[in-house]
Structure 1
Amino acid sequence: MADCDEWWDESEPVPAPAPASNIRHDNTSTRGSRVFHSNSGRGRGRGGVRGRSNEPNWRERSGDDGQSRRNFNNSNGDKKVISIPSDKVGRVIGKGGSKIRDLQYESDAKIKIGDSNGNDTEVTLFGTTDAITKANNMIDDLMKDRKPPPTKENYSSAGNGDEASGTSTTHNYSIINENGDEVIDWDRLNADYEKNQQERWSQLPDIVKDLYKEDQKVKEMSAAEVKRWRLTHNDIQVKRTFDDKPGLRPIPNPVLTFEQAFQHYPEILDEIYKQGFQEPSPIQSQAWPILLRGEDMIGIAQTGTGKTLAFLLPALIHIDVQPMPRDQRAGPTVLVLAPTRELALQIEKEVSKYQYRGIKSVCVYGGGNRKEQINIVTKGVDIVIATPGRFLDLVKAKHLCAINFSYIVLDEADRMLDMGFEPQIKISLFDVRPDRQVVMTSATWPPGVRRLAETYMKDPIQVNVGSLDLAAVHTVTQQLMFLEEDDKEAALLEFISNMHENDKIIIFCGKKATASHISTELCCKGISCQSLHGDRDQSDREAALDDMVDGTVNILVATDVASRGIDIKDLTHVINFDFPRHIEEYVHRVGRTGRAGKTGISLTFITRSDWAHAGELVKILEEAAQEVPEELVLMAERFEAMKIRRDRDGGGGGRGGRGGRGRGGRGRRDFFF
């Protein structure tokens, strides 16, 4: 990107800024003002520093003098000292002390790790007799060396024959060409491979995908009624993604009520009623008939539209109705791949809300306890929710086999590709059975997502909620503040001082170091907050989210790891401390608030270095019928003018390391004023 200092043209006058003290929280908005305001409020001044950096480490938490996060029943209890091999102490402690916390929580005993005296290390257990016995048994179990269980031969991804396992030699396929050279007969080799694959697929158990019994009223909807309903419900567009081949069944009509979708599955209806939903969301209304009929589907919609429940309920029914009993299957039935740990955990939380026929799930992700995850998988689950890296790890270790899955979900596929997970996805799903059902969700429709659909989906139906053009949710009031880089922290503190007591905000930063710095500064000023970024241990990241969800803190400082898949109820504000690198991330950040029918406010700090995004941001604001500040329009015009001058002059040229311009130090700072 061109440096804005070199190309900035200040020949056009621009309005003067409003001082930071004008930041208020009322519902007024004025064109041309530097900030479009939200609700008025008074400072909260909560005080009380809460930061994970001030907590004791695992040894301090587990010792006699440490302060545990849980009150154990050991004030008048017993004590027992056991010895464990010193080289296995790490199994008891876990990463960042996560395992020892789990052991204490599950056993209700207090555990203290002593000093090593050579080959052995003493471990002291405090608590009641039952608690000590339970903790002792759990530690003994951790000391055992387990071998990974063998995969079942009938469903092994490697197959039984030499050809399938890749160990066959190619000399059996050699022929002599017209020049007398020995070459490989690829036609015969490929034909034999296809034959072996067909024989292998024929050994798999049959699966049932068409589970849909169309309601009579839904069946009788006219084409005009269907078109009108789709138009008035977020302008839903439904079509076959690729060629509409002859012989394919018509796309099913949308259901208008929960009963029309699941009247033949009363237990599912009961679970829906427990959640208190009034009616299906638009994507659910259209997706349920498609997925219950066994079709592959691509759902393109922004966050907060109900995509998770759209693929989850058909998955539960799919698991239950398969001909082979669940306890006889070679592995889990449903796979959900998600780009981040936070989104994977969010999906697992959603799955846990629906207790249907004893179906079990597990969430596997990097940073979690791998051994514990493997133990849960091997004991038997029906749904695996995973990040691509950890899933590939378990597939390579033969703890999971892709051939066993018959219902596969690629959630937020565009984000997975943005994060570089395409190779892991392709390797992991290389062995997936050809008659599986695949669901893909995405907020956008880039070429990479289309490529995935072509590879893994069969005649998919595409459901677009709204336009394919990038758009922010319309329930969020988007505000902009134009300022210098050095003034951001002061503006943020001013905003926080005017927060209502019940306000909840996420502050998005562009770098992990910035997020860490901001959270530290807030804590030092007595402002309770949490931080969420890639440098924190998984246990700390989960604790940060828990604190935000349960209201322990009302401020979360995060990088874009929290821009998708994080569902925090009653989140009132999103602050973009740094503008994201891609305009798509701006949309996803803003979409963290204004969810589930509620309204929200976003405030974005804009500096001169963000001018390359000004034109795209103007379009986002206009599409959402938001006020477009004059400063933003001028930024966009200046950036376009710069590109024209740069192209005319043959590029940026050599600046000689910022020399020769007589700017003196950091140069002028009044680029807007």
Structure 2
Amino acid sequence: MTDFASLGLAEPLLRALEAEGYSTPTPIQAQAIPLVLQGRDLLGIAQTGTGKTAAFALPLLHHLADRKAPAPRGGFRALILSPTRELASQIHDNIRSYGRFLGLTSTVVFGGVGAKPQIRDLARGVDILVATPGRLLDHVQHGAARMQGVEVLVLDEADQMLDRGFWPAIRKLTGLMSKNRQTLFFSATMPAEIAKIANEMLKDPARVSVTPVASTAERVEQKLIHIDASQKRVLLTEMLRDLPIGRALVFARTKHGADRVVKHLNTEGINAHAIHGDRSQGQRERALSEFRTGRAPILVATDIASRGIDVDGVTHVFQFDLPDTPEAYVHRIGRTARAGASGEAIAFCAPDEVAKLKAVEKLIAMRIPAEDRRSDAGRAEAASVVPKAKPKPRGRRPMGAPGGAPRNGAPRGPMPTGGNGDGPRRRPMAAR
């Protein structure tokens, strides 16, 4: 059986892993770490909760410790870009834990907090910077950060960076770096747009894929409840009281929806907090702290929390609203059944969400076990919103009939790719 020592990691890293209680690498770690230690660019694909952070953090720390060099003033030797503040903080915490015996320096930079402490840290220079792209670009444009000293670049959750519109900022940042750097992409999914960008940015990359893109965590018991939208909050309250809940994540589609759910639960005597983009950094950190400690064991979130929040003991994930993109369903339920534990994922489906449900089931290639708690009116509404299949035309369509060439005789061109016709179709605003 593979252990961390057999991967070629430095002794101080092995000591830190032992202190953390880690003995056996996960598949993504076992496959990726030796390749990164060889200096290869890497494209790593693994579902959430499989240990991607250690897969890039451990060989990165090994590299920096092995090639001792001073951190450049106003710069950093390694850069890890993350799509959210929460994920950036989590990665930084892991970096400090794994590298506790190496004497390397690190800091984290993201928006929503004051810039002055970040500027002071950057001015001194650090070995490792963990950052969100937008705030880092602000520092670069104001002369507070220099990109020329980057030896290793890591992009974590690359597909979510695309969803959140970070690629213009990332392209500006990478254009300022040395082309001799090592670049690592890690992601839970690999849509065509990201694959194209990876081909442009990576040099002869090794590819590691340990799970199918559409797979859900194996130890998650999935359940679906068809219910009228007006009854969702009542049912959620009942289930939170009746089920053996340790910690539960509840996913709402919108910020206002999350706030309404929290207000209802608090009124019912259930201690819950909301976390979403309109909350200040202080509010988000307090909500996460109380969730981790169990003081408020219910956290209601938008998809800002579907990746990157690694909290032990999440026993249940409730999809109060089904997501606009089916991939988000997979990421959401990946918040439970972590570190060998089991978990339960319960999705509510209102009549107007049936199309979203079908997209999810098509992606994961399974029918989710379901029960029906809809009213008769709700069943009728669901039946009315499901599009009926169009009958197939009989025989071949004659030339010149509708569907052939346009009436002006011009040849049929390619299907438009998006609003401006010059790139991939943009995802819906609600999905970003």
Asked if 1:603 is matched to 2:346, the reply is yes
Contact kept, 8 Å, 1:316 with 1:356, in 2: the verdict is: no
Question: 1:248-282 deviations in whole A, cap 9, x for unaligned?
Answer: xxxxxxx922111136x211111111111131100
CA contact (8 A) 1:621 1:628 kept: no
Deviation at 1:610, TM superposition (A): 1.0
Distance across 2 between alignment mates of 1:282 and 1:585:
23
1:508 counterpart = 2:254: no
Structure 1 residues 258, 494: CA separation in 2 closer, same or farther (over 3 Å shift)?
same
How far 1:360 sits from its partner (Å)? 1.6
Q: CA RMSD in A?
A: 2.6
* Whole-angstrom CA distance in 1 between matches of 2:71 and 2:255: 45
Query: What aligned pairs does 1:443-592 form with structure 2 within 5 A after superposition?
Result: 443-468=188-213, 470-500=214-244, 503-592=246-335
Structure 1's 627 and 447: CA in aligned 2 closer, same or farther, altered over 3 A?
same
Give the deviation of 1:636 after TM superposition.
10
Q: Is 1:352 the equivalent of 2:96? A: yes
Separation in 2, partners of 1:629, 1:493? 18
Give the Cα separation in 2 of the matches to 1:327 and 1:339. Answer: 25
2:162 counterpart residue number? 417
1:256 matches 2:2? yes
Measured in 2, the distance between the counterparts of 1:562 and 1:647 equals: 46
Kindly state the Cα deviation for residue 322 of structure 1 after the two structures are TM-superposed: 2.5
Structure 2 partner of 1:36 = none
Cα deviation 1:525-569 (Å, max 9, x = unaligned): 222111101111111101100110111111011111111101110
Task: Give the direction of change, closer, same or farther, for the CA distance of 1:643–1:426 in structure 2 (3 Å limit).
Answer: farther
Measured after TM superposition, the shift of residue 608 of structure 1 is: 1.2
* Cα deviation code 1:434-471 (max 9, x no counterpart): 11000001111112211221222100111111224x12
SS of residue paired to 1:642: coil
Which string of whole-angstrom CA distances, capped at 9 and with x for unpartnered residues, describes residues 169-192 of structure 1?
Answer: xxxxxxxxxxxxxxxxxxxxxxxx
Q: Corresponding residue for 1:337?
A: 81
Query: Which one-letter code corresponds to 2:121 in the other structure?
Result: I
Report the more deviating stretch, 531-540 or 638-647.
Answer: 638-647
Partner of 1:427: 172
- Once the two structures are superposed, the pairs formed by residues 317-336 of structure 1 within 5 Å of their partners are 317-322=62-67, 325-326=69-70, 331-336=75-80
AA partner of residue 353 (structure 1):
S
**After superposition, what is the alpha-carbon deviation per residue over 1:183-211, rounded to whole angstroms, capped at 9, x for unaligned?**
xxxxxxxxxxxxxxxxxxxxxxxxxxxxx
Aligned counterpart, 1:367? 112
AA partner of residue 348 (structure 1): H
Q: Partner amino acid for 1:440?
A: F
Tell whether the 8 Å contact from 2:76 to 2:126 is kept in structure 1 after alignment: yes
Distance in 2 separating the partners of 1:419 and 1:602: 25
| TM-score where L is the length of structure 2 | 0.84
Distance 1:352 1:644, change over 3 A: same
Stretch deviating more after TM superposition (521-530 or 266-275):
521-530
Separation in 2 of the partners of 1:576 and 1:630?
Answer: 16
Is contact 2:40-2:182 (8 Å) kept? yes
> Over residues 405-449 of structure 1, what are the superposed CA-to-partner deviations in whole Å (9 max), with x where a residue is unaligned?
110000000000011111111111111111100000111111221
The one-letter code of the counterpart of 2:70 is R
State the distance in 2 between where 1:641 and 1:400 align: 53
User: What is the one-letter code of the residue matched to 1:261?
Assistant: L
- Matching residue of 1:224: none
Amino acid at match of 2:256: A
Amino acid at match of 1:316: L
- State how far apart, in whole Å, the 1-side matches of 2:324 and 2:301 are: 15
- Any conservation in 2 of the 1:262–1:268 contact (CA below 8 Å)? no
Find the residue that maps to 1:362 and give its secondary structure.
strand
Measured after TM superposition, the shift of residue 615 of structure 1 is 2.6
Work out the CA distance in 2 between the residues paired with 1:472 and 1:601. Answer: 12
Pairwise CA distance, 1:472? 1.2
Please list, as runs of the form range in 1=range in 2, the aligned pairs for 1:74-85 lying within 5 A after superposition: none
Where does residue 416 of structure 2 map in the other structure?
A: none
SS for the counterpart of 1:333 is strand
SS at match of 1:506: strand
SS of residue in 2 equivalent to 1:593: coil
In structure 2, list runs of 5 or more residues that go unmatched: 375-379, 395-401, 403-432
Q: Name the SS of the counterpart of 2:388 in structure 1.
A: helix
Among the aligned pairs, what percent are the same residue? 37
Query: CA contact under 8 A between 1:402 and 1:432: conserved in structure 2?
Result: yes
* Closer, same or farther: CA 503–356 of 1 in aligned 2, 3 Å: same
Contact 2:108–2:130 at 8 Å: present in 1 too? yes
Computing the radius of gyration over CA atoms, which structure comes out larger, 1 or 2?
1
**Distance of aligned partners of 1:367 and 1:628 in 2 relative to their CA distance in 1, 3 Å threshold:** same
Matched, 1:307 2:61: no
Match of 2:139 among 394, 399, 402: 394
Using a 3 Å threshold, how does the CA distance of structure 1 residues 511 and 358 change in structure 2: closer, same or farther? same
Matches of 1:457 and 1:524, distance apart in 2: 52
Aligned match for 1:274, one of 19, 24, 27: 19
Tell me if the contact between 2:88 and 2:132 (Cα under 8 Å) persists in the aligned partners. yes
CA distance in 1, matches of 2:143, 2:309: 31
SS of the equivalent of 1:432 reads coil
Q: Give me the whole-angstrom Cα distance separating, in 1, the residues matched to 2:18 and 2:389.
A: 57
Quick check: 1:291–1:297 contact (8 Å CA) kept in 2?
yes
**1:38 aligned residue:** none
Aligned amino acid, residue 369 of structure 1:
G
Q: TM-score, normalised by structure 1?
A: 0.55
Alignment CA distance shift 1:322-1:635 (3 Å): farther
Q: 1:483 to 1:522 in 2, by over 3 A?
A: same
